[in-house]
Structure 1
Amino acid sequence: MKLFKLQSLKFLWTLKPPNRALHGHPRLLASDVHSQYESIRRGKQEIPKYFNYASDVLDKWSEIEKAGKRPPNPAFWWINGKGEEVKWSFEELGFLSRKVANVLTKECGLQKGDRLIVILPRIPEWWLVNVACMRAGIVLIPGVSQLSAKDILYRLQASKATCIITTDKVAPAVDSVASECQFLKTKLMVSKDSREGWLNFTELCKNQAADHSCVKTRIQDPMIIFFTSGTTGSPKMTQHSQGSLGFRPLLSERYWLDLTPSGMIWNTADTGWILTSVASVYDPWVFGSCVFIHNLPQADSAVILNTLCSFPIDVLVGAPTLFRMLVQRDLSSYKFMNLKYCVSGGEPVNPEVMEQWKSQTGVDIHEVYGQTETGIICSVFKGMKIKPGSMGKAAPLYDVQIVDKNANILPPGQQGEIAVRSKPIRPLGFFSEYVDNPKKTAETERGDFYVTGDRGTMDEDGYYQFIGRYDDIIISSGYRIGPFEVESALIEHPAVVEAAVVSSPDPLRGEVVKAFVILSPAFSSSDLKSLTQDLQDHVKKTTAPYKYPRKVEFVQELPKTITGKIKRNELRDKEWGRM
């Protein structure tokens, strides 16, 4: 496959492995890779002691590809919207990632178990570093590109990372705090330019050999650490093992992604999110599918829609914000080339947005639910009936229940905390621990369950509905009100672009519902008193009348985490005078 020239990846021109034409392309199901794990899935064989995703999955696909048993579909396809693109086969991915693994081990001196922070946008190097870390047994710590110097300092100090890889844009922020990070030994910069104190990633890769031997890793060895969003308190280091992210999709089949070796998935999430690791690395490549990436320096709805019209993308994955943004446009003029399946996660999708997307595109949005700690634990998979407001059923490998404060399982229809059975056997897809924080790790366990901190319900058919974070629940005059339902009702009103709902003190009711609302420009000059009444009446008609916001405040923006989640705790603390 042709490797197209990139300024930051000039070395790719000269580093292609020997060309091996594929002879014939019989349809290959992912079961060809999964077959050796079928007995494990059926409980007839124990989970293996050793596992490495790079050698046991990616290299296997490379062998299948070289044997001519995989369709002529790239493993990785990247564009930047300016005419530049990169395509890699699995063989090329292996070839290049071995070079990067040599850079990390030979040039940077990193060893198995060392920690590396990578802060890169959606550029091909991010994927090479991911696979290289698997090969070398280095623990990867991804971070979003919007991290401030303060955020970077916290992550470097908390993780004791010995190496960081980033761009020339972020390098000055790293330099401003590096003197306070005693464990940081090596700084690598992805750039065509040089910078004092930094190694040039591109130049080092250019001169490396590609004969790296993959290290032997145990299935419980640490592989990746995510920092949680930090909606309440400082972000925690959530550690996943080789098995929890890499081995899990081998056992769980296509429960949330309907992909084959001829398929192509585009996930628009930021590289610092667990959703990108799950939907742009581990799960698609288990099935030999193509991971499609657009650089997307900014979320531009026209660019996204035109990309869907121009490339054979089967599956689109994104946060609800993506779909809320897209339905604001007239979609009738866009003809998607191949889109069949849409998935949303991170937060619930408003039913109104789901209905608009379906009516204009003919494609359903399938919701998934999970956490940084668990990966995906509920999903609306293909062929399943879609119930608006529901995040589907429990995913394979998980026993999901609604429990009370004493870990008793609650009957269908009753509100409680969403929990996953973790005893006597801890689910494979779970995080190992909060690093250096055993107290917080222990607090996630209640009886035989891992408790998510989210409230929800389950209906008679086994569908789960998200109500809100445990701390976000509003108790007004004895009624329990989840903020998401009120927010969903508000966003259906044409005046509302975005809304956040929290509790506010009230002398009579204890607390009441307050809505913070961002208005559409068309309504910015409205009579706010009259508009407030209109919004309140709208909510009363859309949902139970007692849930309407008795207080409404119009704002220009809402406080959010670096991953885009609304910081309701900040709004709540402001209301209660705790700031």
Structure 2
Amino acid sequence: MELGTTAQRESAAYRCFRAARDHLLGHRDDLEAARAFPRPEGKHFNWALDWFDVEAEDNHATGLRVVDLAADGTLLRETALTFAELREHSNRTAGWLRAQGVARGDRILLLLGNQVALWEVMLAAIKLGAVVIPASTLLTADDLADRVTRGQVRHVISESALTPGFAGQEGDWTRIAVGEPVHGWLDYAAAADHKAEFTPDGLTRAEDPLLLYFTSGTTSLPKLVQHSHRSYPVGHLSTMYWIGLRPGDVHLNVSSPGWAKHAWSNFFAPWNAGCEILIVNQPRFSAKPLLDALVRHKVTSFCAPPTVWRMLLLEDLAAWRPPLRELVGAGEPLNPEVVQRIEQAWGVPLRDGYGQTETTAQIGNTPGQPVKPGSMGRPLPGYDVVLVDVETGEEITAAGVDGELCLPLESSPLGLMVGYQDDPERQADSTAGGRYHTGDVAQRDIDGYYHFSARGDDVFKSSDYRVSPFELESVLIEHPSVAEAAVVPSPDPLRLSVPKAFIVLVPGSKPDAETARSILAWSKQRLAPYKRIRRIEFADLPKTISGKIRRVELRGLEGQAHANRGSAQAAHRREQEFWEEDFQGPGIQ
């Protein structure tokens, strides 16, 4: 029921969700027992009304804190809202949006940075039964036009400074600006004056659409991923469990709005647990102010992508002593070297996990369980995982064998998307054989831990052996001069292709022949002959807006270079490119 707080507290939807959440919290250190949690299976569910509002009533604990820092790390402003205030603000916003014509099922393009309005609108949209299309603030005008068209957008809520990105776009869609008034746009500030009472216009079905994500496109153009009122709010109970969140925690997640990970760890998972969400905004990322914030705001749980962890390791982490209990990484696999160095500095294990825009957290190293550096962990509550031979389609049961990560559909994966919108061919491919196909390749060891190998499109052959870029990159970043690396195939007339590494150096290292010699020698000492790095190039790494390395772009760059070189390959290299043939002597050859 969604008819008022008392009715909500007694509703089956609330009781079922609470029972599932409490079971997971009660078995934080026992993964097998946690997997037996009672799934909320009701026909109707509206997370903002049936869960958040009930827990937020008269709750004066801080639910959201947004800290804005200047470029030099000094504090510009700090805004904190209690759960009760967030409940009231989102009620006002929902009522005001309804008055502007936002109705159940309407699609809202949300173009906001990490500001309070983002959380108010998200809660309000859920209450209204509208569908949110999160968008990154870094999108181009063409990107925005694509989202408005393919997303069938009825309303746009944008930062005032970003509204020029919609200039020239026609269409019958509502324009709402957050910030300074913009001519021709409604002023979001008016929502604060709307009445605080909100009554829904009916029940929300758990399978109704809630979110529509445009994926980051590491290997293809963005797909449109649709989630429901069940798949993400309920599905992120698995994410809450993986992170290890508890009521009263202060959780900081480094993620940009517009991408699935933001909803994972800056919205659903923390508020499923009853945590404070801490946001630290910087004009440009700087490690020291972020570390200062961890200490100042007594952060207990911290999540960041591998790129951020690597940048933090450039500092003396032991000089900061925040009260951290949980450390997790997501976005791309964590290299063992990073995991080990973080634990050495802070005495807290850095735990990796795995999921996709299409799902919630599927696999993870969970609190209280042994952590294997380099492993993604084991299947999380709500998910059964199998490995499938990419050529035969047969399930792989042996340990140490590469296979595609798949989710058996008969087990009803907890946070699996509704599907790809308006793309029946892609949808059929993704669910062929009664399994959801992730497209990612991994191995399972004898203890049931999964180890990431590569995106299916990233694996390549060299001398007729299959090569995983991630394995090679993990070796490379252990070299003291290497900050980041991306490995792709470089065409070779003898071996078909050889591994080539595009490398970003740590500050102070020179992109010269001596550094190249050292890195190539390091590779030879630690990798089998068919795996070792044969070519390197010092260059910036192209990334998606969400921070994932675009190996597809590097593969294309290398393929084009090969085509241009023809038979005289060695004579036509880029300026900071080195091959092992360039060096003689025992150091490499």
Instruction: Name which of 206, 220, 227 aligns with 1:219.
Output: 206
* Structure 2: runs of 5+ lacking an equivalent: 1-13, 25-34, 70-74, 565-589
Report how far residue 363 of structure 1 moved: 1.7
Report how far residue 83 of structure 1 moved: 4.8
* Alpha-carbon distance in structure 1 between the residues aligned to 2:498 and 2:535: 8
Q: Which residue of 1 aligns with 2:138?
A: 146
Q: Which residue of 1 aligns with 2:383?
A: 398
The alignment partner of 2:457 has SS state of helix
* Alpha-carbon distance in structure 2 between the residues aligned to 1:268 and 1:208: 33
Matches within 5 A, 1:304-343: 304-336=290-322, 338-343=323-328
Structure 1 counterpart of 2:158, one-letter code: T
Cα displacement string for residues 270-321 of structure 1 (whole angstroms, at most 9, x for unaligned residues): 1112111111111111121111112233221111100011012110011111
The alignment partner of 2:354 has SS state of strand
- Percent of counterpart pairs with the same letter? 35
Structure 2 counterpart of 1:387, one-letter code: K
Q: Which residue of 2 aligns with 1:84?
A: 77
* Alpha-carbon distance in structure 2 between the residues aligned to 1:146 and 1:173: 10
Pair 261,196 (structure 1): closer, same or farther in 2 beyond 3 Å: same
Cα displacement string for residues 20-54 of structure 1 (whole angstroms, at most 9, x for unaligned residues): xxxxxxxxxx9996237889996888710000001
Instruction: Name which of 503, 508, 521 aligns with 1:537.
Output: 521
* Alpha-carbon distance in structure 1 between the residues aligned to 2:411 and 2:145: 37
Report how far residue 236 of structure 1 moved: 0.9
Instruction: Name which of 441, 447, 467 aligns with 1:481.
Output: 467
Cα displacement string for residues 422-469 of structure 1 (whole angstroms, at most 9, x for unaligned residues): 1x3532310001111111111112312111111110001110000111
Q: Which residue of 2 aligns with 1:73?
A: 61
Instruction: Name which of 354, 366, 384 aligns with 2:369.
Output: 384
Report how far residue 515 of structure 1 moved: 0.9
CA contact (8 A) 2:383 2:414 kept: no
Pair 45,222 (structure 1): closer, same or farther in 2 beyond 3 Å: closer
Cα displacement string for residues 129-151 of structure 1 (whole angstroms, at most 9, x for unaligned residues): 11000000010111111111121
Q: Which residue of 2 aligns with 1:353?
A: 338
Q: State yes or no: 1:35 paired with 2:27.
A: no
* Alpha-carbon distance in structure 2 between the residues aligned to 1:458 and 1:306: 38
The alignment partner of 1:140 has SS state of strand
Q: State yes or no: 1:471 paired with 2:486.
A: no
Structure 2 counterpart of 1:382, one-letter code: P
- Shifted more, 358-367 versus 514-523: the winner is 514-523
Report how far residue 79 of structure 1 moved: 1.6
Q: State yes or no: 1:47 paired with 2:35.
A: no
Q: Which residue of 1 aligns with 2:571?
A: none
* Alpha-carbon distance in structure 2 between the residues aligned to 1:365 and 1:129: 33
Structure 2 counterpart of 1:140, one-letter code: V
Q: State yes or no: 1:95 paired with 2:62.
A: no
CA contact (8 A) 1:228 1:238 kept: yes
Structure 2 counterpart of 1:228, one-letter code: T
Structure 2 counterpart of 1:553, one-letter code: E
Instruction: Name which of 50, 60, 63 aligns with 2:54.
Output: 60
Instruction: Name which of 178, 184, 189 aligns with 1:190.
Output: 178
* Alpha-carbon distance in structure 1 between the residues aligned to 2:108 and 2:336: 40
The alignment partner of 1:468 has SS state of strand
* Alpha-carbon distance in structure 2 between the residues aligned to 1:480 and 1:45: 40
Structure 2 counterpart of 1:483, one-letter code: P
Q: Which residue of 2 aligns with 1:563?
A: 546
Instruction: Name which of 153, 158, 166 aligns with 1:174.
Output: 166
Q: Which residue of 2 aligns with 1:120?
A: 112
Report how far residue 543 of structure 1 moved: 3.4
The alignment partner of 1:502 has SS state of strand
Cα displacement string for residues 400-423 of structure 1 (whole angstroms, at most 9, x for unaligned residues): 11111333111211111111111x
* Structure 1: runs of 5+ lacking an equivalent: 1-29, 67-71
Report how far residue 207 of structure 1 moved: 2.3
Pair 510,44 (structure 1): closer, same or farther in 2 beyond 3 Å: closer
Q: State yes or no: 1:268 paired with 2:254.
A: yes
Cα displacement string for residues 107-138 of structure 1 (whole angstroms, at most 9, x for unaligned residues): 2x011011001111111111111100000001
Q: Which residue of 1 aligns with 2:72?
A: none
Instruction: Name which of 198, 223, 238 aligns with 2:225.
Output: 238
The alignment partner of 2:341 has SS state of helix
TM-score using structure 1 length: 0.87
Report how far residue 525 of structure 1 moved: 5.6
The alignment partner of 2:557 has SS state of helix
Structure 2 counterpart of 1:106, one-letter code: A
Matches within 5 A, 1:240-259: 240-249=227-236, 252=238, 255-259=241-245
* Alpha-carbon distance in structure 2 between the residues aligned to 1:115 and 1:543: 51
Report how far residue 369 of structure 1 moved: 0.3
* Alpha-carbon distance in structure 1 between the residues aligned to 2:495 and 2:480: 30
The alignment partner of 1:80 has SS state of strand
Structure 2 counterpart of 1:345, one-letter code: A
Q: State yes or no: 1:282 paired with 2:268.
A: yes
Pair 266,39 (structure 1): closer, same or farther in 2 beyond 3 Å: closer
The alignment partner of 2:442 has SS state of strand
Q: Which residue of 1 aligns with 2:532?
A: 548
* Alpha-carbon distance in structure 2 between the residues aligned to 1:52 and 1:458: 37
Q: Which residue of 2 aligns with 1:415?
A: 402
* Alpha-carbon distance in structure 2 between the residues aligned to 1:105 and 1:44: 35
Report how far residue 489 of structure 1 moved: 1.4
Q: Which residue of 2 aligns with 1:158?
A: 150
Structure 2 counterpart of 1:390, one-letter code: S
Q: How many residues align?
A: 531
CA contact (8 A) 2:40 2:234 kept: no
Pair 44,350 (structure 1): closer, same or farther in 2 beyond 3 Å: closer
Pair 134,44 (structure 1): closer, same or farther in 2 beyond 3 Å: closer
Structure 1 counterpart of 2:203, one-letter code: K
The alignment partner of 1:399 has SS state of coil
Pair 544,384 (structure 1): closer, same or farther in 2 beyond 3 Å: farther
Q: Which residue of 2 aligns with 1:450?
A: 436
* Alpha-carbon distance in structure 1 between the residues aligned to 2:253 and 2:293: 12
- Shifted more, 287-296 versus 89-98: the winner is 287-296
CA RMSD of aligned residues (A): 2.2
Structure 2 counterpart of 1:510, one-letter code: L
